[in-house]
Amino acid sequence: MEEFQTTGFYKGTYGLAYALTTNYIEAKPLKFEFGRWPQTFAYNDMEGFRMLIGGRTLKEFSTKVRLGGYIAFGFKDLRPKGQFTTEWMLGREKTRKLTFDFKYDYVQFGGGTVFTAQNMFSAVLAKSQSKKLSMVRYVDLLYEHEIVHWLNASLQWRTQRVWSYNGPDPSDDRVRFIRTSDGQVQESFSMNMLDVGFRLSFDDRVSRNYFTKNYLFTKYPVLQLNASFGFKGITKDDFPFIRTTANLFWKVPSTAIGFGRLEIKGGIIWGSVPYPMLKIHDGNQTFFLDRSAFSCMDYYEFVSDRWLTGYYEHNFNGLLLGKIPGVKKLDLREVATVRVAWGDLTDSNSIYAPFKLMNVTNQESIAKVPYVEVGAGISNIFRILRVDCFWRLTHRRPEAKDNFTVNVGIDIDF
């Protein structure tokens, strides 16, 4: 086995698999890995063509401390950006981890998880270039503590500043902070937040690496609870608030007709906050599959300070396609999805909001009629690919093509 691991074939296959699953390219002689490689080149409306170089240290450098970050430059705005992260692993048997993170870069609020960072895939697979990016600078200090195997806690402090768009383009799509009180544009605002979180997962299988703890599978539902507290008076133009959220995730065990994924999220914000800090229901303006976002919803289309969302996906595990001669050998699997979002804005964040809502936001309320979209697709294409079609059932747009989309993604299920 050791001899095989020294062959060029093994090293090449391992390197490719590692790069695809982690987005990093190892350079062990340097005790460093370069990445995230999908973000090396990108394009967006704010920066134009963008280049990035970054990486992080390997365990050969240290098994207790990992240093990472990147620098980036846009050839349209001519502004350097970057991030620097330091992770201290204080304990592995039971996770004890402290992370310091500084970032100054554009962020897409309400963009799900796959495309919150600019990358070459989001640029190529974008339906349209978003004009709703915001320049953000934040400093994070996060402590993670595994109390017992089934109960994990986190404590995070964040100081953050978000800038308004101040360029010459008067487009209403831009993220501007127009004060409700006098109609003037405010250059930026800040937030100072303390977040307390708990994750409850019984009989959860995990893998422990030197700097990460990965949750693999549990047959029981997983519950995550968070409370965030915003403080006023620490920095200029900050806001007081309380935000509580609860997330329930369950991978429904296999049956004769396949298995499912259920996710329910809800939350409440007490206090008046700038609209980028509201619950921006996650949209997806790309053709790439993002399970955390609504495929037919645009960025900033719906915002709420009280919300409840539901997501269910069922994999039929070849129930129909597995019975078709010729097709059976391909081991394709049918997938069906339904996503629902309900949300409301109280007077604190509508009438008395510190900034006026964007013209593209909340064009139709989802308080009276929830937003609903459904999807149907095929997974396990060449073992890793998946293609889904999604339809928007409520709050439909005038053009039929705007109520339908196709997503392509990577999906590995066992």
**In the prediction, which pLDDT does 363 show?**
59
233, 191 contact by CB (below 8 A) = no
Model confidence pTM above 0.95 = no
Q: Is the pLDDT of residue 5 over 90?
A: no
**Quick check: is 13 in a domain?**
no
**In the prediction, which pLDDT does 167 show?**
76
DSSP3 helix / strand / coil % (the chain, rounded to 5): 10, 50, 40
**Quick check: is 12 in a domain?**
no
Instruction: Give the bridge partners for 89, in sequence order.
Output: 97
Weakest mean pLDDT among 20-34, 81-95, 144-158, 234-248: 20-34
**Quick check: is 230 in a domain?**
yes
**In the prediction, which pLDDT does 411 show?**
81
Please compute the mean of the pLDDT values over residues 341-368 and round it to a whole number: 86
The dihedral of CA 90, 91, 92, 96: what is its sign? negative
Instruction: Give the bridge partners for 406, in sequence order.
Output: 389
**In the prediction, which pLDDT does 365 show?**
79
Sequential DSSP letters for 299-362: TTS-EESEEEEEEEEEE-TTTTGGGSTTTGGGT-EEEEEEEEEEEE--GGGTTT-SBPPPTTS-
Q: Mean pLDDT across the chain, nearest whole number? A: 91
Say how far apart CA 97 and CA 168 lie, in whole Å: 45
Q: Residue 210 CA to chain centroid, in angstroms?
A: 24
Please compute the mean of the pLDDT values over residues 230-248 and round it to a whole number: 97
CATH code assigned at 52: 2.40.160.50
**In the prediction, which pLDDT does 364 show?**
66
For residue range 305-323, list pLDDT tens digits in order.
Answer: 999 999 999 999 999 999 9
Percent of the chain with pLDDT over 70: 93
Say how far apart CA 289 and CA 292 lie, in whole Å: 9
Pairwise pLDDT comparison (184 vs 14), residue with the higher score: 184
- φ/ψ (deg, to 5) at 215: -85, 125
Helix/strand number for the chain, H first, E second: 3, 22
Which H or E run contains 206? strand 205-208
Which H or E run contains 44? strand 41-44
**In the prediction, which pLDDT does 362 show?**
64
Please compute the mean of the pLDDT values over residues 8-16 and round it to a whole number: 72
111, 282 contact by CB (below 8 A) = yes
140, 158 contact by CB (below 8 A) = yes
Question: Residue 194: helix, strand or coil by DSSP?
Answer: strand
CB-CB neighbours of 28 under 10 Å: 10
**Quick check: is 18 in a domain?**
no
Weakest mean pLDDT among 5-19, 149-163, 301-315: 5-19
**Quick check: is 2 in a domain?**
no
Question: Residue 237: helix, strand or coil by DSSP?
Answer: coil
- φ/ψ (deg, to 5) at 84: -135, 130
For residue range 40-70, list pLDDT tens digits in order.
Answer: 999 888 899 999 999 999 999 999 999 999 9
Weakest mean pLDDT among 238-242, 332-336, 359-363: 359-363
Token pair of 140, please?
């994070």
352: containing domain? 24-410
**Quick check: is 397 in a domain?**
yes
Give, in order, the Cα–Cα distances in Å from 161 to each of 105, 274, 277. 11, 12, 11
For residue range 73-111, list pLDDT tens digits in order.
Answer: 999 999 999 999 999 999 999 999 999 999 999 999 988
Q: Is the pLDDT of residue 359 over 90?
A: no
CB-CB neighbours of 55 under 10 Å: 20
In the chain, the number of structural domains is 1
**In the prediction, which pLDDT does 2 show?**
53
Token pair of 391, please?
């339809």
172, 358 contact by CB (below 8 A) = yes
CB-CB neighbours of 387 under 10 Å: 16
**Quick check: is 404 in a domain?**
yes
**Quick check: is 107 in a domain?**
yes
